[in-house]
Structures are given as C-alpha cells and as structure tokens.
Chain A
Amino acid sequence: MGFTGGWQQALFDEIEDLFADTRHDLSERLRVLTREVEAVIDQGDPMETWPDIEAWLERRVVGLATANHDLITERAEKLVADLSEQFRLESEVPLDLGFNAPKEVLRGLAIDPADTSAGSRRVARLVLAGRTAVIIPYVVFGVMGSGSLLLLATVGPLSLVLGVGIGRKLLRDERQRQLTYRRQQAKIACRRYLDEANFVIGKDCQDSLRRTRRELRDEFEARAAVRGLTTSPRPRQAPAAERPESDPLQQAVLRAQEAERRAAEAERRADEAERRELERRLREPASRRGFAHVRGREQPSRTLDRLTSWIVLGVPIAHRTRYGEEFRFELDHLASRGVPRRRQWAHVLRLGASIWSLRRELRALPAAAAERA
C-alpha cells in the first residue's frame, strides 16, 4: 500500500487482531490460574487455608492483569512502529494506552466468602454419626441376646468394641465428606471470582485499545494532513458522475472514511452488546452472578419461595393464582429492597399463620363477590 488513507483500515484491523490476541492471552492465563488454585485448595482444608488462598488468589490476579497489560503495551508499540514505517507517518507522540492500575480495575471485586466454616450443622452431623455408630451394634446384639441374660452379658462388651469401630469409620467418612464439600465450595467461589476478573480486566483492555485507536487515528490523520493528504468529510454516496475517479488519492480518502465509519459502527455495536451483558449480569441474583461488590436486585431464597407456594395452598383453589402472585411479589419486593433474610422469614411465617383466617374469609364470600374478588 502506498502513501494513502489505507492506514486507517490497517489500524482498525491491527487493533482488532491485538484485542483478540490479548483476550486469548487473558483467558489462557486465567485458565492456568484456575487449575493452580484448584490444586492449592485440594492440598489442604479450606476451613484453615481459606484466608491465605483468598489473599494469594487476589495477588495472582493483580499480577496476571499486569502481565496482560504489559503484553498489550508491547504489541501496541510494535503496531504503531509498523504502521508508521509502512505508511510513512512517523509519530513523535509517545504511546500511552491509559490503562487503569490493575488494583484499581479489580477494586470492589471480592471473592464470595465460601462456606468453609465449621458451623453447627457440621457438629450436629458428627454427633449424629457417632450416635448411629453406638446404636447399631446395641440394637443388633440386643435383639440376639434378648433371650438369655448370659448371652446379653457376653455380647455387651462386644457391642461396645464394635460400636467404637463403626463409630470411628462413620466419623472418618463424615469428616472426609465435609472436607470435600468445603473444597467444592472454595473452588466455586474462586471460579466465580476469576470469571468476574476476566470480565472486568477484559473490559478495561478493550476500552484502552479503543481509546488508543482513536488517539492514533487522530495523530496519524494530523500527520497525513501535514504530508498533503486531506481527509475532509465528503458525501459518502456521491453520484458516480461527480466522483473524482481520476484522482486515486481522493478515492483512497473516501475508502478510508468508509472504513472509519464501519469501525465506528462496529464499536458502537460492541458497546451496546457489552452494556446489555452487564445489565443481564446485574439482573441475576447476586449469589449466582458472584458480584459480591454490587448489591443489585437480590432475589428471595428458593426455600422461602417454596414455602410461600405451600402457604398459598391454604386458600381455596379459585383464589390460589391471585394470592400466589400477591405473596410472591411481596417476598420478591422485600428481597429486592435488601430486607434481611431473617425478616423475610418472619414475613412468610406470619403469612402462614394468617392463611387460615384468609381462607375462612374467602370461603365465606358469596359466589358473586368471590368471582369479583
């Protein structure tokens, strides 16, 4: 290509390639990090190691984002040098991609606290396992020895020994099961975090590259104007007769303008798609999307939703749809306003307590009024 407006198309293509490459690089790094963090989680018990894993993972993601930025900067510098040389549009303006600091980009992004605690349920399960272990041999040998006092005296200690054995096995299995559960929870929390990090870092890279493209385009345009190329806007759909076909330079400028228009359109579409994606994510329940930092529209828990559906069964069939919708709206309204889960429970339980009076009221309605209601 010579000294023509084709540099604009080249710039657009190169930036697109650069963006695709850096996204791939980012995804690859995150994939490797996911495997690493899962291996780390498997090496210990998240109940003890979770704070360390959390800090380590956050550090690694910052490092990863920095490495990704370095790659983009390096590639972009090369791109500018190549373009300048190819189109003889040497620029004296130093390249500044205007990246935000990775820590800044990742600010507000938090790892969803994984359920790695040793809660009361854990203790309760262990106690249950122990109790089962003690009961089983006593029941078995108790039945066997029920006929004779001597046999009962003999099998009593034997039951004790067996109980201890079975108990140890059950407790060991239960501990292992809980450990596996905690590891799974920790892995899910990490994956969510990495997924969000991918989204946020990717967005920042894309914005920086777009900014860079615009700046480079302006700078190169200025250079091109100095070298004698005019890029003043012309009507895109000029009649063929008026088109200066004899002037290749003018045609090149028109082609460049068209390419620029397409690039702007593509950019606008990409922005729109991104905005929609962000909105979709914000509409999801916080627990599912893993946006621990965004308190968007919370959803009621599935248990409460199910409990509400059961409560509605208390009203006569003809009114179930109506009150089902009404109660579900109320629950959703409370959840979306961030009312604590405890109070949501209180609300639903109160509804449950008063459902019989509503039922009585509805059953007492005369047929015509019931139809109206």
Chain B
Amino acid sequence: MPPAPFRLTLPTQLVLRALLQEPTREMYGLEICDVAELPSGTIHPILARVEAAGWLTSRLEDEDPRTLGRPRRRYYVLTPDGAERARNALAEAHTTARSVKRLRPGLAGGL
C-alpha cells in the first residue's frame, strides 16, 4: 500500500480516527469537530487535503434550505478505499497520549 500523500499530523490523525469510528456514516463538519475534539478552523484544511487525496467524498444536503429552515449541511464520508488506507496509515503512525492532550487545550469541538 503506498504511503499517505499528505503528512499525518496529529490533527489529521484525529480527524481520520473520527471518520473511522463509523466509516460508512456521513458526518457533517461540526460532528467531526465534536468527535475529533478539534476546532472547526482546524478540520477544514485537513478535510480539504484528505478529500483532494481521494480518501474522502463530500456532498451537500439535497433539501432546499428554505424547507429545512437553515443553511444546508455538507456531509463527509470516507471512500471504501480511503477507509482502508486511513486504517493502515493510522496503524503506522505513532501517536502518544501526551501529544494528543497537548493538542486539545480544553474547548472541545471548538464551540
């Protein structure tokens, strides 16, 4: 299996772990923030990178925002190949609990 086409930084690993919790379930940005415990501003560059690598796909909700009464959500889900590669990449990555703790200063989900 080829190595990941991007650097597996700690936030990237957390985002991938969040997506891999239920790899077939579509999640929207703030959900990923909640699970990965990262602020929204951090996950968007990562999602763009992972999506560009083809590991991830995204889609907008189909419903009309006027019907929903709110702006549309964008859902993200790992592709089957992407999920497999993410699992392998994470297995190879070395993440210490200490470094994860350093990354999450306290405000969970960036909310």
Q: Is the CB of B60 within 8 A of A325?
A: yes
* Docked CA distance A326–B60 (Å): 9
Q: Which residues of A contact B25 (CB under 8 A)?
A: none
Q: Is the CB of B45 within 8 A of A370?
A: no
Given A347-B111, A351-B40, does the pair A362, B69 have CB atoms closer than 8 Å?
A: no
Q: Which among A217-225, A265-273, A330-338 touches the partner chain?
A: A330-338
- In the A-B complex, list the 6 residue pairs whose CB atoms are closest, starting with the nearest: A354-B41, A369-B52, A329-B71, A361-B45, A328-B71, A358-B45
Q: Is the CB of A297 within 8 A of B111?
A: no
Interface SS, A side: helix
Q: Is the CB of B48 within 8 A of A329?
A: no
Q: Which residues of A contact B51 (CB under 8 A)?
A: 369, 372-373
Q: Is the CB of A323 within 8 A of B60?
A: no
B29: shortest Cβ distance to chain A, in Å?
6
Question: Nearest B residue to A353 by beta-carbon distance?
Answer: B41
Q: Which residues of A contact B30 (CB under 8 A)?
A: 330, 333
B97: shortest Cβ distance to chain A, in Å?
25
Q: Is the CB of A362 within 8 A of B41?
A: no
Question: Nearest B residue to A324 by beta-carbon distance?
Answer: B71
Q: 0/1 per residue, A349-364, Cβ < 8 Å to B? A: 0111111011011100
Residues in B9-45 with C-beta less than 8 Å from chain A: 28-30, 39-42, 44-45
A170: shortest Cβ distance to chain B, in Å?
44
A361: shortest Cβ distance to chain B, in Å?
4
Q: How many chain-A residues does the 8 Å CB contact rule pick out?
A: 34
* Docked CA distance A240–B39 (Å): 76
Q: 0/1 per residue, B46-73, Cβ < 8 Å to A? A: 0011011110001010000000011111
Listed by A's residue number, 30 A-B pairs whose Cβ atoms lie within 8 Å are A297-B70, A323-B44, A326-B74, A328-B71, A329-B71, A329-B73, A330-B40, A332-B71, A343-B111, A346-B107, A347-B110, A350-B110, A351-B40, A351-B41, A352-B41, A354-B39, A354-B41, A354-B45, A357-B41, A357-B45, A358-B44, A358-B45, A358-B48, A361-B49, A365-B48, A365-B52, A366-B52, A369-B52, A372-B52, A373-B58
Q: Is the CB of B40 within 8 A of A329?
A: no
* Docked CA distance A332–B71 (Å): 7
* Docked CA distance A367–B94 (Å): 32
Q: Is the CB of A350 within 8 A of B44?
A: no
A275 on the B face (CB < 8 A): no
Residues in A242-267 with C-beta less than 8 Å from chain B: none
